[in-house]
Amino acid sequence: MSPLLTSAYSPDTFRQQGHALIDLLADFLADAQAGNQPPLHYREPDDELAFWQRDFEQPTNPDPAAVWKNLLTHSIQLHNPRFMGHQVSAPLPLSALTSALTSLLNNGQAVYEMGMAGNALERLLTRWLAGRLGLGPEAGGLMTSGGTLANLTALLTARALKAPTDVWADGSTDRLAIMVSEEAHYYVDRAARIMGLGSAGIIKIPTNDRFQMQTALLGPYLKQAQADGLTVFAVIGSACSTSTGSYDALTAIADFCEQHNLWFHADGAHGAVAALSDTYRPLVRGIDRADSVVVDFHKMMMMPALVTAVLYRRDADAFRTFQQKAQYLWADASSPDWFNSGKRAFECTKLMMSAKVYTALKTYGEALFTEYVEAQYGLARQFAEHIAGQTDFEIAVQPESNIVCFRYIGATVSPDRINELNSAIRQAMLTDGQFYIVQTSLRGHTWLRVSIMNPLTTLDHLKQLLDAVRQLGIGLIRQYGM
C-alpha cells in the first residue's frame, strides 16, 4: 500500500484524531449550550463561498482539526438555547457518537448480509413504534432518508393498492388525485407531481381557524373531483402541520377513508411522537386507523438527520410499493422478506439509521422521548400564555405542538404595514444573530415562528426573545416611520 494510503487507514492515527475530535466537539457543545455566542454568525452566501475557496487553495494539512474548527464556527448551533427556528433536532450527543460508528461500518442495508444488525433493528424499531401508535398486530414498516422520501414512498404504496389500474407496470391511464389540507408541507406537492398527478391531482381542502383540515368538506370535494373525472386514491392527514403545528382530526379522516375505500396516510413527521405521552396522545387520536404513517426521528426524537420511519398498518403492503425485479441483488426478488431493506425502501445503499435510535433507546429508555415531547410541547403553551399577556404582540393560533406563530403589532403600527414590519424584524434577527427564528405566511399574513426544539431552551429565553423582537420593532418603526 502507498505510504499515503497506509497512513490514511492507520488505526493509530484514527485513535488520535478521534480523541482530538471528541474534545473539540465536547467543547463546542459546552459553549453552544451555555449560549455565550449567538447561535448563528450570519455571512452572505458569496462571502461564505469565498472563505472556503481561499481555504481550499491552501496546501493540505495532515491535521484535520483546522477544517473541523472552521466547520464548527461556520455553522448554525442547534444546541444553543437561542436556536428556535426550523424543526431540526438538536441531536442527542450520544447519537453523534453512534453516527461515527455506523459511518465507519458503512453497512448499506439493501441486501441482508450488507446490514444484518441494521435490518434486524429496523424491523424491531418500526414494530415498536407502530405498536406505540396502536397500528395493530400486522403493522410494520421500514426506515428511509427523510420525511419527504418517506411520504412519497407511502403515497406510492397507496397508489399501488388503491388505483384502479397498475400504474407501475402500465403507466398512468387514469387521472389520479390525492386530498390534503391546504396547510400541508410542500413535499406533498412535490411528491404528487413526481407521481404524475399534476396540479389537478392535488386537491387542497381548506382549513379552519385553527389551521386544521375542514373534514366536513372532504365529501363535497370528493364529489366535485369525481365530477371532474378524477380518481381520488388517498387522503393525507397532518399530525401535525408544518407552519402552525396543527393536528388534523384524524378520526374523521379515517371514517371518511373507510367509507369511500381510500388510503388514509398520516404525515406524523413532526408530531406523531405525541403518542408517547399520556398528556398529548389525544392529539393523534385516530392515527391507529391510518394505512400508513410517517415519523421523522430527526425532528422530535432527537436524532441527527436523516432517520425516518414509514409505518404500515399491514406490513405486507410495503412490498407492493416498488414491484421491481432486481435479480442480481436478491436470490428471490419477489418474496416478501423483511430483512432485505432494498425491496421496500426507495434507496439502494442506505444509512444504517436504525442503530442511532436503538442506542438511544437502550441507553436512556423510552422515557427520554416522552419527557422530551412533554417538555417542548409544555413550553410552547407557556410561551403562548406569556404572549397573551403582552398588548403589543399577538399569536396566530393556540399552539398544539411546540411550534408557535406570533407577531409584533406595536401600539401605533398601521395594520397594512404589520407584515412588512415582521419581515423586517426577522431579517434583522438573522443578521443580528442573538436568536434564530423563522417566519411563515398564513393566509397572506406574515408571522414570526419558533419551533422549540432544543431541550435547553427555557421560558426565560423565550421572554428574552420577545424583548429582542420588541426592541427591533421599535427601532424599525422609528427608522421607517411605520
Ligand X SMILES: *Cc1c(COP(=O)(O)O)cnc(C)c1O
Residues in the site for ligand X, rule: CB under 6 A?
A: 87, 146-148, 151, 185, 187, 238, 242, 267, 269-270, 296, 299, 308
* Residues 321, 325, 326, 328, CA torsion sign: positive
Cell numbers describing residue 112: 441482508
11-34 vs 93-105: helix crossing angle, rounded to 10: 160
Using alpha carbons only, give the angle 101, 102, 103 rounded to the nearest 5 degrees: 90
- Residues 298, 304: contact at Cβ < 8 Å? yes
Using alpha carbons only, give the angle 279, 285, 290 rounded to the nearest 5 degrees: 140
Tell me the C-alpha distance between 76 and 37, whole Å: 11
Tell me the C-alpha distance between 414 and 142, whole Å: 52
Q: Find the shortest distance in angstroms from Cβ 480 to ligand X.
A: 34
Residue 324, classed as helix, strand or coil, is: coil
Residue nearer to ligand X on the CB measure, 119 or 238: 238
Task: Kindly report the number of other CB atoms within 10 A of residue 418's CB atom.
Answer: 19
- Residues 284, 293: contact at Cβ < 8 Å? no
**Between the CA of residue 476 and those of 219, 406, 414, 426, 446, what are the distances in Å?**
48, 18, 13, 11, 16
Q: Find the shortest distance in angstroms from Cβ 191 to ligand X.
A: 10
Tell me the C-alpha distance between 36 and 434, whole Å: 10
Residue nearer to ligand X on the CB measure, 350 or 410: 350
Q: Find the shortest distance in angstroms from Cβ 63 to ligand X.
A: 35
Q: Find the shortest distance in angstroms from Cβ 165 to ligand X.
A: 28
Residue nearer to ligand X on the CB measure, 270 or 426: 270
Q: Find the shortest distance in angstroms from Cβ 420 to ligand X.
A: 27
- Which amino acid belongs to residue 291? D
**Between the CA of residue 310 and those of 22, 467, 473, what are the distances in Å?**
33, 41, 43
Q: Find the shortest distance in angstroms from Cβ 148 to ligand X.
A: 3
Residue nearer to ligand X on the CB measure, 308 or 340: 308
**Between the CA of residue 177 and those of 7, 156, 238, what are the distances in Å?**
57, 12, 17
Q: Find the shortest distance in angstroms from Cβ 329 to ligand X.
A: 26
Residue nearer to ligand X on the CB measure, 79 or 185: 185
Tell me the C-alpha distance between 74 and 65, whole Å: 14
DSSP bridge partners of 177: 232
- Residues 263, 234: contact at Cβ < 8 Å? yes
Strands 176-181 and 202-205: parallel
Cβ-closest position to ligand X: 147
Omega cis (within 30) before 240: yes
Residue nearer to ligand X on the CB measure, 304 or 455: 304
Q: How many CA atoms lie within 13 A of 361 on its CB side?
A: 13
Residue nearer to ligand X on the CB measure, 239 or 448: 239
Residue nearer to ligand X on the CB measure, 129 or 269: 269
Residues in the chain: 482
Q: Find the shortest distance in angstroms from Cβ 138 to ligand X.
A: 25
Residue nearer to ligand X on the CB measure, 151 or 207: 151
Looking up cell 442506505 gives 350
Q: Find the shortest distance in angstroms from Cβ 267 to ligand X.
A: 5
Residue nearer to ligand X on the CB measure, 79 or 298: 298
Residue nearer to ligand X on the CB measure, 88 or 326: 88
Q: Find the shortest distance in angstroms from Cβ 245 to ligand X.
A: 9
Q: Find the shortest distance in angstroms from Cβ 295 to ligand X.
A: 10
Q: Find the shortest distance in angstroms from Cβ 308 to ligand X.
A: 6
Using alpha carbons only, give the angle 5, 10, 11 rounded to the nearest 5 degrees: 155
Residue nearer to ligand X on the CB measure, 99 or 238: 238
DSSP 8-state class, residue 239: B
Strands 263-267 and 231-238: parallel
